[in-house]
Structure 1
Amino acid sequence: MQIEIISFTEQGSLIVANIKKELESYGKVQVTNGKKMERSLQEWCENAFLHAQLLIFVGATGIAVRAIAPFIKDKFTDPAVLVVDEKGKYVIPILSGHVGKANEYADYLAEKLSATAVITTATDLNGKFAVDVFARKNQLVIRDRAWAKEISAGILQGEKVGFFSEGNVIGDIPKDLVLRQSSEEEHHIYVGIHTSSYLIPKAVTLGVGCRKGKSAEELEQFILKQLEQQHIALESIACVASVDKKKEEPGIIAFCQKYGFVFQTFSPEQLKEVSGEFTESAFVEENIGVGNVCERAAVCGQNHQPSHVILPKTAENGMTLAIVEREWSVTFE
């Protein structure tokens, strides 16, 4: 984690020393004296937005607001930004309070500095369930940001929101939600790997095999067709896996790069270690060294976590695909 701290007065620099000490366990902390910079505050801020996950201004809130204004893009991608007054009395999160964890950092820092955290987000003030915080803590992808805002607005207005999860639910469900037993029941929050869900875990691995020279376009058409038939959301894919003899296969690499998928490969020996019943091929065994690539690779891609096969080995025009989902759950704290 990269943390950038900037102050503008001698008094502020004294507070910075304490802040730096308390945050060093989080990651690399870079301290800047705003009065001695060779570059402008705007240039400092632009660089910090690109590389840091937490920005802390020690000084007036107005300075921070004007500095960050040109670089604010999206609550789901902006870094966390805090303001600490130069006396160290208040810690104020002003950007990315939920997704960027600015509120959590503010609470932590306020406790360490014996200061007061000034939290202004509505769900926190009213003790309400925050769907974006829940998604972040459970590493879920929010598929529709407008939907997330509507859910938060409804909860703030006192509505009871239905909740269904394809995975196990751990902990006590918040009073703002009503647990549903089926995805077919009326509900507003649906957690799962399928295209009808709103919150999606990265729980699916694609095991891929192909003849040498298969293009990215052929692989893409084949894979997307199978995902569509299984109603699997692209956002649920954690990685694409294959045998190590395919680690330089241009078509697979290009397909993964297009969608931002991690591509992992495993040796035939590693694939053979996978337990389970798989569709074996003598031809593949002779040429690759293991009788099944796609199913075994998909399981290996889950780091041998408990999982189940959604789509067994499926072949088409020199390409094979298997889809595996690991066991997953969501937790309410």
Structure 2
Amino acid sequence: MSDIAIWLVRDDALPLGQRLTAALGATLYQPWQTPGDSPREQFRRCFHQHRQWVLVMASGIAVRYLDGLPASKYSDPAVVVLDEAARFAIPLLSGHEGGANALAYQVARLTGATPAVTTATEALKPLTLGIGCRRGKPLHDIERAVLSALGTRGLAEVREVATIDLKADEAGLLAFCERHALPLRVISREDVAARGWTGQPSDWVQQNVGVAGVCEPCALIASPRGQLIVPKTAFDGVTVAIVEDRPQTAVRHEP
């Protein structure tokens, strides 16, 4: 039995569930096919049979499904809620310890959803790295470029790495993210082209990728409240931009 399970509440979500099941090597549950107990009772019986869950449903339904089941963040299965339109992937249970945060990013890369991570360990880190690179760049080249761009700032302040969809399988970039336990956020070319914030457009990138730039727009799309603190910086075929998240903490009052 797979460590990951996908639970659907409607057959309308079956194509999405099947795609996730194939990509994640997961077990797919379609409770309407099992007569007898209610879907919620079926879920309660299956809950501890898997280490990680993707619940394709509204968050309110997920809360009712989980009522009374969680016991400890150190032993509970990880739970990610994904709406049927695949707009948001929300780690709802065991985000850090159980791996729901990482699973949310994985689901987001597969579906184009936005990962909505709320745990303080990750959410309070202010920096997002936008990275672009030539094909085949090794881990150490990417690492050297990132550390140079960070300067006095450290990798401990980095919340996530963002890149364009063409680089989703770039081995050196994936190895860098794995070494430093950083989630990789993949931005579609369509979104980069539509929201192409870039201060230094590249003719080479335009000709080969179809957008004016990668690292700056990807970082800014991933951190929409942020400010570009390190514009595109090139290091031997690797480009890095850094955005710092600066949320407004003051409460606004109506006049």
User: TM-score by structure 2 length?
Assistant: 0.52
Matched residue type, 1:287? N
Q: CA deviation at 1:141?
A: 4.4
The aligned residue for residue 232 of structure 1 is 153
2:248 matched to 1:248? no
The structure-2 alpha-carbon separation of the partners of 1:308 and 1:27, relative to structure 1 and needing over 3 Å to count, comes to same
Superposition pairs of residues 204-243 of structure 1, within 5 angstroms: 204-227=127-150, 229=151, 231-243=152-164
Paired residues of 1:274 and 1:299 also in contact (CA < 8 A)? no
The aligned residue for residue 20 of structure 2 is none
Paired residues of 2:73 and 2:97 also in contact (CA < 8 A)? no
| Structure 1 Cα separation of the partners of residues 227 and 156 of structure 2 | 18
Q: Which consecutive residues of structure 2, in runs of 5 or more, have no partner in the other structure? A: 1-62, 79-95, 99-117
Superposition pairs of residues 142-153 of structure 1, within 5 angstroms: none
The aligned residue for residue 179 of structure 2 is 258
Q: CA deviation at 1:321?
A: 0.2
Structure 1 outlier segments of 4+, above 4 Å: 138-142, 329-332
The aligned residue for residue 287 of structure 1 is 208
The aligned residue for residue 298 of structure 1 is 219
Superposition pairs of residues 46-61 of structure 1, within 5 angstroms: 49-51=74-76
Q: CA deviation at 1:221?
A: 1.9
The aligned residue for residue 126 of structure 2 is 203
The structure-2 alpha-carbon separation of the partners of 1:329 and 1:140, relative to structure 1 and needing over 3 Å to count, comes to farther
The aligned residue for residue 320 of structure 1 is 239
When Rg is computed on C-alpha atoms for both structures, the one with the higher figure is 1
| Structure 2 Cα separation of the partners of residues 78 and 272 of structure 1 | 36
Matched residue type, 1:260? A
Structure 2 counterpart SS, 1:308 = strand
Paired residues of 1:141 and 1:235 also in contact (CA < 8 A)? no
Q: CA deviation at 1:252?
A: 0.4
Matched residue type, 1:27? L
The structure-2 alpha-carbon separation of the partners of 1:26 and 1:259, relative to structure 1 and needing over 3 Å to count, comes to farther
| Structure 2 Cα separation of the partners of residues 299 and 275 of structure 1 | 9
The aligned residue for residue 177 of structure 1 is none
Match of 2:195 among 238, 263, 274: 274
Where relative contact order (Cα < 8 A, 6+ residues apart) is larger, the structure is: 2
Matched residue pairs, number? 154
| Structure 2 Cα separation of the partners of residues 139 and 29 of structure 1 | 21
Q: CA deviation at 1:217?
A: 1.7
The structure-2 alpha-carbon separation of the partners of 1:51 and 1:251, relative to structure 1 and needing over 3 Å to count, comes to same
Q: CA deviation at 1:307?
A: 2.0
Q: CA deviation at 1:275?
A: 5.4
Structure 1 counterpart SS, 2:142 = helix
The structure-2 alpha-carbon separation of the partners of 1:306 and 1:275, relative to structure 1 and needing over 3 Å to count, comes to farther
Matched residue type, 1:217? H
Structure 1 counterpart SS, 2:200 = coil
Q: CA deviation at 1:28?
A: 4.5
Q: Which consecutive residues of structure 1, in runs of 5 or more, have no partner in the other structure? A: 1-23, 32-44, 54-76, 80-137, 143-199
Superposition pairs of residues 15-34 of structure 1, within 5 angstroms: 27-30=66-69
| Structure 1 Cα separation of the partners of residues 245 and 142 of structure 2 | 23
The aligned residue for residue 74 of structure 1 is none
- Sequence identity, in percent? 29
Q: CA deviation at 1:298?
A: 0.6
Q: CA deviation at 1:293?
A: 0.5
The structure-2 alpha-carbon separation of the partners of 1:331 and 1:319, relative to structure 1 and needing over 3 Å to count, comes to same
Q: CA deviation at 1:140?
A: 4.4
Paired residues of 2:198 and 2:212 also in contact (CA < 8 A)? no
| Structure 1 Cα separation of the partners of residues 231 and 189 of structure 2 | 19
User: TM-score by structure 1 length?
Assistant: 0.40
